[in-house]
Amino acid sequence: MSAGTPRWDGLITGISLATLDGAGYGEIPDAALGWQNGRIVYVGPRADLPAPEDTLADQVIEASGWITPGLVDCHTHVVFAGDRAREFEMRLQGESYEAIARAGGGILSTVRAVRAASEDELLAQSLPRAKALVADGVTTLEIKSGYGLDLANERKMLRVARRIGEVLGIEVRTTYLAAHALPPEFSDDADGYIDAVLEWLPMLHGEGLIDAVDAFCEGIGFTPAQTRRVFEAAHTHGLPVKLHADQLSDLGGAGLVAEFDGLSADHVEYTSAESVQAMAGHGTVAVLLPGAFHVLRETKLPPLDAFREHGVPMAVATDCNPGTAPLLSLRQAMQLACTHFRLTPEEALRGATVHAARALGLDDRGVLKVGARADFVLWDIGHPAELGYWLGGRLCLGVFAGGRLIA
């Protein structure tokens, strides 16, 4: 380095890189990665470093293994109270998800538990789940509300989500999902409840608690017309939208969210060819949630070939939630995506990095390149394909967010 040039904050050498910058894994053997002020300043061969290593950075780490971009979990319900293990048992005994929900179980059972918990209690129950995701490579985490279903408890959930980011030192993107289910006090008035959801939206947004808006457009959720009202209100306040779309039936949800230039359509098992084309035309990401597919023992596959044909990016997320995806590892979600959806390991890794970041409207992460956030993971693997291969186990050697070791 020339005299007067600031030293980098950190430099890792000796590793192989899967940059995901360009085609394939973007592999660089015997590589180096340098960062300063939370941003990547060097990514490339070790032999091409601009100066002797000990003069470049305040901290020089010699390591082995592979480094990938930090994983981005773009669809979670991590903030909740209690669990629904008994409902899991009921489904295995033959009860359907819809029947359990209509009998007062499902989402509403979690709503009761969330409403009964204080903010600190909700944080104490939710934080270990977020820590587990981070420990297996997640550096950016989306967290939805939707188990409060009234103003005070939706606010409580979103506040806990923000606190999780502060405690763990990661970026948490919050999504307002009050249009998740119909609460008991509006049991016969879905339109009236949507009125309330739209009334709370500007209040919570004004408190800095909302990064995006979501809804559950489904027969046991809300109609396309009600969802449209939510999206129109979100756009009025300059908020991007995403949607739980076409999970159990085709109500045209993926096409609807694309119409609003939505960030993502999530689940998408029943998405039609027309909706796929709409997503492609509006840049809407398909978020695959193989954990829910697995737990619910679904058989209807998303239109994967159509997504590929039309160039719709496919993200992969955990959908971590108490009812249908009690999944605490995005790497495990990648493996399930390979097994159930026949994604290649490269597609799964891109789905949990590049495309997941896009599903959150973030263009400064998910890839290792100069200028990107210094979010990266050091893995004890011989090739990146192993991230979609191993079932369980501990492969993560270090998780860095903004250049800081956090796990």
| Residue 311 Cα distances to 137, 240, 263, 280, 284, angstroms | 27, 21, 15, 6, 10
| SS3 at position 59 | coil
Is 319 annotated as contributing to ligand binding?
Answer: yes
User: What CA–CA distance (Å, rounded) separates 407 from 125?
Assistant: 19
User: What CA–CA distance (Å, rounded) separates 239 from 197?
Assistant: 15
CA 284 vs. chain centroid, Å, equals: 15
Is 324 annotated as contributing to ligand binding?
Answer: yes
The structure tokens 């030192």 sit at 169
Is 247 annotated as contributing to ligand binding?
Answer: yes
In sequence order, the β-bridge partners of residue 222 are: 217
By CB atoms closer than 10 A (0-12, 13-18, 19+), residue 117 is: buried
Helices 224-236/190-206 angle, 10° precision: 20
Is 84 annotated as contributing to ligand binding?
Answer: yes
Backbone angles phi, psi at 153, to 5 degrees: -85, -30
What are the strands, taking DSSP E only, across 19-101?
27-36, 39-45, 60-62, 66-69, 71-73
| Residue 151 Cα distances to 160, 200, 208, 220, 255, angstroms | 14, 6, 15, 22, 29
The dihedral sign for the CA sequence 263, 268, 273, 275 = negative
Tokens of 130: 């977020």
Vertex 197: Cα angle to 87 and 296 (nearest 5):
25
By CB atoms closer than 10 A (0-12, 13-18, 19+), residue 301 is: middle
Is 244 annotated as contributing to ligand binding?
Answer: yes
Backbone angles phi, psi at 335, to 5 degrees: -65, -45
Is 147 annotated as contributing to ligand binding?
Answer: yes
| SS3 at position 317 | coil
CB atoms within 10 A of CB 12: 23
Is 77 annotated as contributing to ligand binding?
Answer: yes
Annotated binding-site positions: 75, 77, 84, 147, 180, 244, 247, 319, 321, 323-324
Binding residues for Zn(2+): 75, 77, 244, 319
Report the binding-site residues for 4-imidazolone-5-propanoate.
Answer: 84, 147, 180, 247, 324
The annotation places the binding site for N-formimidoyl-L-glutamate at 147, 321, 323
Q: Please state the residue numbers annotated as binding site for Fe(3+).
A: 75, 77, 244, 319
